[in-house]
Chains A and B, each alone.
Chain A
């Protein structure tokens, strides 16, 4: 008998080993869906170390995933000894073998023969449901392995009282070291607990000494709870304050029950995944085959037969098993008919989602109980026949049906190759080999110094939480999580961020803001990233997503203004060291932030100054510290006004457009510009001058966002440095308007991105609106500096100005009159020299109106007369033209209307006898390339000679005939027939013979018609004579016909360092992907561009008539000072979700006095110690999500507990005063250690008393 049992066990485990080895694909791991390629368990292990690990999620949180730790005892050695690929197979074998043996011994305890027990164990291990478990969902596989062993111990204790001591010991060990592995999936913890209670109930029914057994069970349960405290308490607390991205309401899960008919539930194949070919391509054939389909019902069918043939204790077990199974079947049905309302009602019970969201653990329990019943039934059936042949036939047939029911798992068919998914796309194979470039990129990041974080781009773009990588992995986006030791910030990661399932509103808010600003204001997004400690951006070019779904890597390089380090398709941008996890801040800000989100505050910090902000209401009542600034947020519905003792008023907007109002001071009201736009009030915020603000400015497709970096007034001089972000792809002109208060004479100058604009004089005691016209703003970030130097009246201090109310808060600026650089009507009139007055025919028409610029170029001030006609009546208004500053028409008209107290529609304007200088927008390269940063095209006839005949378009396969087109294009038609490969490289060559090339010249190249779907085209210029033009910028576009266009600009500056080039042989290369039929045309164009430092004025005069675009243009009068003025922060996706009125930035840059990198500070995963210097008063900020579980102790002199406050809406901060040793630690991490000691103590006690 024993011999038979050993044979059954040995043979079965051998077969299972062969099955698992059959799954093995050397060098590859099984990874898809929720099962990411886990190839470096060591890093996973480090990240999950501790109830609160700073590596777990970017902003930190208590997360149950740390309880996965014991699994490392199996996984890590397997990985180290056998490698990732075979180690994974070995891990799966251990789990499936544990499940089998556990079920076998359980059935044996209930009196089944070895053969029947083996069949029962096979039925539990191999069935339709476990196809979705083994080799796939690790925690569920662990559940399947654990459950039968727990049942075995319980049954053994019930039927054999002598075993109770040992059973209790092992169950306690399970609670301490095995069940926590399930902690990462809380529903499984609940279900294994419920399963254990049910199994204990069955055992109680079977026990001869029910009362004693019950006492034993309760006692054992208590010991298990004590042993489980170390992980159970943090696991439960991880839910506090967190949200579960996974839907929990049954009504939200209806779609998952589409297949969950009772019929499918009876074979435990209820999951919606089974219907998706990308996951289970074997499913249709499996379901269509009568034998495999029918075999799926084997467990329930044999148990039903058991109802007929069993009696006594076996019948009781059978009825219990079927009863539990039918309850589970009904739960798995969810909202599928019939009786959907019953489940809907039951699921509404608090906590019921732990059973309903994923009842897989219940299914395991049902299968286990049915397997017992099946084994007992088979024994009974065998006993009913006297024929040995029939007995063997019955057992063999049952085993054969089990094999058929799980054949896709046994054959490895569930681990499929590439398949066509339900959406028609190609889903890659389940077998994945992570490319070496990932390891190289991870090595680079892991070996770099510091503890800075990494932002993962592109953000998640798919509707679900799966992503597809070009190297063949399709599933949860956790490839980097398992490879990179740093904190990783995923954007829009869907279900899983980091390792766990839970999210917190605060961290979500900050990451959402970064996501939004990457679209609208990348510079500001970078500033926030710096503030939260991100140093690296990892752009994963191997993520497959719809073309143009997000920025390409080339576009990201432009947006971030960085050149990445490349690892295959991965690009790593180094943004410079960010703020550390810990910092001592002597300067901080107190405020009242109302309902501002953590994202709002993160944006505010990036806009103004990266100092920690604390809600004043959170400070202790006896607080005596002094903030650097006091801020107050204004309700969007109320005026933004500076209250007493408040330095700055802020308005936050959760989503644009944000409406609100500001109160204009008397000084500001004078400068307030009147909108002449088509829209009535509320006005765009850019039209509201406030000081030290950062706001959006929008005109058409252009969007400017200004950001003051520094502001200072010292000894009569003014210095404002700022940056301006142009999110558009085209260069624009904008007028920079600065309102300055009346003060002693001063001379103002503006420099923007290297160009110095003509200075403006301010006379003594005169308030002034400075206007720097036509500031060229290239795409991306443009820096500007406004300087005010005393030039008349000497160095006069502000206090001597004699103007009451003067303060830095009265300065304001904004950008207006934004228009595309190179407006067509004006470009056509550009000459290379000055044009005599009256000879330039300016063809103004309606389309020019917003872009038209009128400037005077004649020495003194000129008064122009603007006449306009409306409703048949002509109005005449004098307009003062400042020298070289100009006006714009809407401003002039608005002023005129205001002065005449008119409000009327304006239809046309007639300019009469004005000497004007058209500040003609510089002719631009924009039709060739959009990188118009002070670049002026120079006509080829004047400066360059592109030798005809030399452009040769060729591929490696053949040379194509060329034809010349007007406009400098070279065109070739490429016929895909013939010797050309499907994808052919195309080379375009030019010869540039130039007598007077300058170092600042730029060569721009555009090639149209290359590519196809691969985004692979690029332009590289090579030149003869050892000259290597340096890539200035390069960008890849998709054109409407699906082809690519690639543009690049090359700088010659470096080339000039070695020799002066004269003759340049240039070639560009791109790839052509041929269409299935027909020819392809490739166009290439090269142009020499010349950089200019300032606008080139063109003089002209004459009578011009200007027609306004619509009849709806209305000008309105200025509001009165002190009256709230409605404002609107942009009308489209806006960057201006935070507006500020009042005090300028305190200081730019980091203000941390000490951080983790400083001597005397030690930062580790769950603890910080810092030697606070003498005299320090301020905030100790620890950049992990605010939680009461973090606390600080300050030692010496004496022991004190600094006040714990929330900084920036999400961080932990403590107010610290005076020298001492500061210790910051997480209470839960301490509790875990205490809980582990307690658990070990309970186990030791059980070990000592197991025979008692």
Chain B
């Protein structure tokens, strides 16, 4: 039961991957603007992989929120 609950929690958390990706992208843009290119690139890398996760695990709200 605990495992299933953890999976459910993780799946719910993954639904926020697009939000996280947008946040990371904004931060990368901000770092670039400040001239911190290396940091910006790092955030860009993370954004990419978060996006990959978002595309794979994104479900329709109805599916996600069903018990």
Contacts and interface: CB of A to CB of B under 8 A. Distances in A.
Interface in B9-54: 18-19, 21-22, 25, 28-29, 32-33, 40-41, 43-45, 47-48, 51-52, 54
A307 interface: yes
A19 interface: no
A266 interface: yes
Which bracket fits the contact residues of B?
A: 20 to 34
Interface string A713-733: 000000000000000000000
Contacts of B29: 290, 293-294, 297
B41 A261 contact: yes
A261 B44 CA distance: 8
A305 interface: yes
Contacts of B58: 307, 315, 319
A626 to B, nearest CB: 72
A317 to B, nearest CB: 12
A126 interface: no
A1196 B31 CA distance: 82
B16 to A, nearest CB: 9
A322 B55 contact: yes
Contacts of A322: 51, 54-55
Nearest to B62: A311
Contacts of B62: 311
A722 B12 CA distance: 92
Nearest to B41: A261
B61 interface: yes
A322 to B, nearest CB: 5
A374 interface: no
A326 interface: yes
A338 interface: yes
Contact of B44 (A263, A290, A312): A263
A301 B48 contact: no
A293 B60 contact: no
Nearest to B54: A307
Contacts of A290: 29, 33
A314 to B, nearest CB: 10
A292 to B, nearest CB: 11
Given A266-B25, A297-B29, A304 B18 contact: yes
B55 A263 contact: no
Contacts of A263: 28, 32, 40-41, 43-45, 47
Contacts of B43: 263
A262 interface: yes
A705 to B, nearest CB: 58
A312 to B, nearest CB: 7
Contact of A323 (B22, B32, B55, B61): B55
A388 interface: no
A300 B54 CA distance: 13
B19 A308 contact: yes
Nearest to A297: B25
A326 B51 contact: yes
B22 A301 contact: yes
Nearest to A312: B60
Interface string A286-312: 010010011001001100110110011
A304 B53 CA distance: 12
A304 B45 CA distance: 16
A262 B60 contact: no
A176 B58 CA distance: 41
B14 to A, nearest CB: 11
**Chain A CB within 10 A, most for which of B41, B51, B60:** B51
A263 B33 CA distance: 13
A261 B54 contact: no
A316 to B, nearest CB: 9
A305 B22 contact: yes
Contact of A262 (B18, B22, B45): B45
Contacts of B21: 304
A297 B24 CA distance: 12
Contact of A307 (B25, B33, B41, B55): B55
Interface in A940-961: none
Interface in A268-302: 287, 290, 293-294, 297, 300-301
Contacts of B51: 300, 304, 322, 326
Contacts of B32: 263, 287, 293
B48 A262 contact: yes
Nearest to B17: A307
A326 B22 contact: no
A1037 B35 CA distance: 50
A323 B62 CA distance: 22
A301 B33 contact: no
A703 interface: no
B52 A262 contact: no
A329 interface: yes
Contacts of A338: 45
A301 B28 CA distance: 13
B45 A266 contact: no
A294 B26 CA distance: 8
A307 B14 CA distance: 12
B55 A311 contact: no
A322 B58 CA distance: 12
A301 B41 contact: no
A338 to B, nearest CB: 6
Nearest to B16: A308
A297 B48 CA distance: 12
A329 B21 CA distance: 15
B60 A315 contact: yes
Contacts of A319: 55, 58
Contact of B48 (A266, A312, A315): A266
A332 to B, nearest CB: 11
A1196 to B, nearest CB: 71
Nearest to B40: A263
Interface string A475-506: 00000000000000000000000000000000
B53 to A, nearest CB: 10
Interface centre among B19, B22, B48 (most CB of A within 10 A): B48
Nearest to A290: B33
A261 B21 CA distance: 16
Contacts of A330: 48
Contacts of A301: 22, 25
Contacts of A293: 29, 32-33
Contacts of A264: 44
A304 B52 CA distance: 11
Contacts of A262: 41, 44-45, 47-48
A233 to B, nearest CB: 39
B47 to A, nearest CB: 7
Contacts of B60: 311-312, 315
Contacts of B61: 311
A293 B25 CA distance: 12
Contacts of A305: 18, 22
B41 to A, nearest CB: 4
A108 B33 CA distance: 36
Contacts of B18: 304-305, 307-308
Contacts of B54: 304, 307, 322
A877 B56 CA distance: 98
Contacts of A265: 48
**B41, B43, B62, most chain A CB atoms within 10 A:** B41
Contacts of B52: 326
A217 to B, nearest CB: 25
Interface of B: 18-19, 21-22, 25, 28-29, 32-33, 40-41, 43-45, 47-48, 51-52, 54-55, 58, 60-62
Interface of A: 261-266, 287, 290, 293-294, 297, 300-301, 304-305, 307-308, 311-312, 315, 319, 322-323, 326, 329-330, 338
Given A308-B19, A315-B58, 5 more contacts: A265-B48, A266-B25, A266-B44, A304-B51, A305-B22
16 contacts: A262-B47, A263-B47, A266-B25, A290-B33, A293-B29, A293-B32, A301-B22, A304-B18, A307-B54, A312-B60, A319-B58, A322-B54, A322-B55, A323-B55, A326-B55, A330-B48
